[in-house]
Amino acid sequence: MSDEVYDGWAREWLELEARAPELQPLSPFQWVSSQPSESFPTRIHRIPMLSLSNVYSLEELREWDAGLQKLLGTSQIDYTCELKIDGLAVSVIYEEGQLRVGVTRGDGTQGDEVTANLKTVRSLPHTLPEAISLEVRGEVYLARQDFDELNRRRAASGEPAFKNPRNAAAGSLRLLDSREVHRRRLSLFLYNQVDGPLESTHSASLKRLEDWGLPTNPEARRVSSIEDVAAFCAHWEAHHSELPYDIDGVVIKVDSLRMQEQVGFTAKSPRWAVAFKFTAEQAVTVLRAVELGVGRTGVLTPVAILDPVELNGTLVSRATLHNFDQVSRFDLHLGDTVTLEKGGEIIPKVVAVDAAQRAPEALALQPPAFCPVCDTRTVQEVGEVDWRCPNVQCPEQQQERVLHFVSRKAMDIDAVGPALVAQLFAHRLIANAADLYRLEVEALAQLERMGTKSAKNVMESIERSRTRPLGAFLHALGIPHVGEKTARVLARRMGSLEAIREASSEELAEIGEIGGVIAESIVRFFQDPEQQRLIEQLLAHGVTPVQQEVAGQKIAELEGKTVVITGTLSEPRDVWKQRLEEAGASVTGSVSRKTDFLLAGNNAGSKLEKARKLGVSLLDEATLRQWMGAEAQE
Ligand code: IVH
């Protein structure tokens, strides 16, 4: 559904909740929240980070203004109008002029402490000109140009593209490797100061932030009537695609801080501010054909081919239909008049079909009976929505599998990107991943846009991958249900490829993180003659995945023990998790009778309570560092 429909329902629900408070425990708003990640220390917001209520028309905007006039007993209210940046909210804390902490919004009460990542924002000063302390909030985002550049890099290394700049910014802020974050060029606009020396109006506070060298948005304007607010909204609704970054509306704030205080807050948002949301732009066009994409696992994805139409300033002739369930839900026919929407993603989607305009003889779209590439009869497994080509030899699948094989988190063969893989297949230089290791410089150098130098480069990149860690190798094989993380666990716990190939599903399922479905999928994969042949070929060509030596020694106190981590620690949780696992412990998510230790940091909450009740031993970082010796010293 579109954002507007969603917000409409959400609003109706909240109104119903207000009338029936006894139903509130059932409310989706109680359980839908963005959980802070496990990897960063959690930090509680001293002042909660609220959201804004939305209006969708100038009429609703005027109603909001009328309500405020009544509350304040005056018709003279000045407003600040700002762009609503489509990124994610963060809070930044300076102490005595030094940038100390950066936190994501999280669920509004607590977020992830991502200071190192925020420090990569080039416009954010680490030191202020005066030794002042303040907390400011703003929006982290990726400019369109930086987003395109990031996706180009990802395509080149075979990684999936981000759907939109906001997702890319959110994903980047959560990376553990700040050098990669730096490369992605995150940007920031600060829009609200919540602590520290304040002026008497919001616009003056913004000006002061700017004087301190902090990044604020240059388009903010102070106006003195709701009609000027409406003009600002109308202007940006028409012109926002000209900005170098995405916005999804305008935020209007009462300018006087005294008035803000007077009107105060509701439970979820301030009464003194509102978001004017732009209507998602739509376009109507005609569906001419459906193209099928074939993925690495044979999944067939329908793509609508359309009469070109302009949407958000670009000419669109393709739209995603997601899967055939969606096609049958819309009861799509060839020649149908369809409505498209951008919905925050680069590839537009079909959101509605006008059945009334359908010609009586129009053909209904059916799931394909045969693979468009290799003509094998398609299958739909019980309980799955996707239709698949079951032929593992299907050339398109082979190609997609090789792309997965070379990608960064798999074999990391960075000199082999999508264009080269396509060339290699087209010239029949390879038919599968193992063939990469038989390539020769001479043959490669014959390819278009490739000289001896690049060919050597490619060969070196392939050569380096022969000794990738076992986990990365397992991930590269593309075992169904085994992602990058499971592959690593499998490698660490089983130690060698041989052990994994010989393991029964019962043995595999004994590994904490691996359930029955995954275990069976692994066994089935290694029993498949096709896969066996591929693995034999890889080994014969000298691929020797290495099980990284477990860093440090197994530690007697921890070996075979179960540990739970909670609270704010001085290092990311992932780091502790890895160290603990390397020391022979297994790390689980919740405290139970089986838990041996709780590693508790600051602000440990319910897990600490439960551990105390069950008599679970507590550990702190200092003790662990002592046990682990020099390895875990900071
Ligand atoms: S003010 C207490 N100003 O919109 C309210 N928010 O829907 C503080 N946003 O979570 C928010 N641009 O992530 C404000 N100029 C702006 C904004 C803005 C984007 C985001 C922010 C917030 C969300 C609310």
What's the pLDDT tens digit per position in 250-267? 999 999 999 999 999 987
Which residues, at least 6 apart from 416, have a Cβ–Cβ distance to it below 8 Å? 158, 406, 436, 458, 461, 462
CA distances from residue 441 to 157, 177, 450, 465, 501 in whole angstroms, order as listed: 21, 34, 10, 17, 33
Please answer whether residues 141 and 166 qualify as being in contact, where contact means their C-beta atoms are separated by less than 8 angstroms: yes
> Residue 541: is its pLDDT beyond 50?
yes
Closest ligand 1 atom to Cα of 82: 15
pLDDT confidence of 4, banded at 50, 70, 90?
low
Which percentage of the chain shows pLDDT scores above 70?
94
User: What is the average pLDDT across 50-74?
Assistant: 94
What pLDDT sits at residue 20?
80
Q: Whose CA is nearest to atom 23 of ligand 1?
A: 51
pLDDT digits 0-9 by tens, 63-109: 999 999 999 999 999 999 999 999 999 999 999 999 999 999 998 88
d(CA 56, CA 279): 7
pLDDT at 366 over 60: yes
Q: Residue 30: pLDDT band by 50, 70, 90 thresholds?
A: low
Average pLDDT over residues 382-403: 92
Mean pLDDT check: name the lowest of 6-15, 38-47, 462-471, 521-530. Answer: 6-15
Q: With bands split at pLDDT 50, 70 and 90, how would you rate the model's confidence at 31?
A: very low
Task: Give distance in angstroms: CA of 86 to centre of ligand 1.
Answer: 9
Amino acid at 600: A
What pLDDT does residue 568 have?
Answer: 86
477 alpha carbon to ligand 1 midpoint, in Å? 43
∠ CA 519-521-522, rounded to 5°: 65
Other C-beta atoms lying within 10 Å of the C-beta of residue 387: 22
Q: Lowest mean pLDDT: which of 293-307, 379-393, 435-449, 612-626?
A: 612-626
Confidence of residue 306 (pLDDT cuts 50, 70, 90): very high
Q: Which residues are catalytic?
A: 84
- Whether the predicted model's global pTM rises above the 0.75 cut: no
Ligand 1, CB within 6 Å, residue ranges:
50-52, 82, 84-85, 89, 105, 139, 191-192, 251, 270, 273, 275
- 168-215 pLDDT tens trace: 999 999 888 888 899 999 999 999 999 999 899 999 999 999 999 999
Give residue 342 CA to ligand 1 midpoint distance, Å.
22
- Distance from residue 178's CA to the centre of ligand 1 (Å): 25
Query: Which two structure tokens, joined as six digits, stand for 618?
Result: 């507590």
33 confidence band (pLDDT: 50, 70, 90): very low
Ligand 1 atom closest to the CA of 50, numbered from 1 = 2
Asked whether the predicted pLDDT for residue 237 surpasses 60, the reply is yes
User: Residue 32 above 60 pLDDT?
Assistant: no
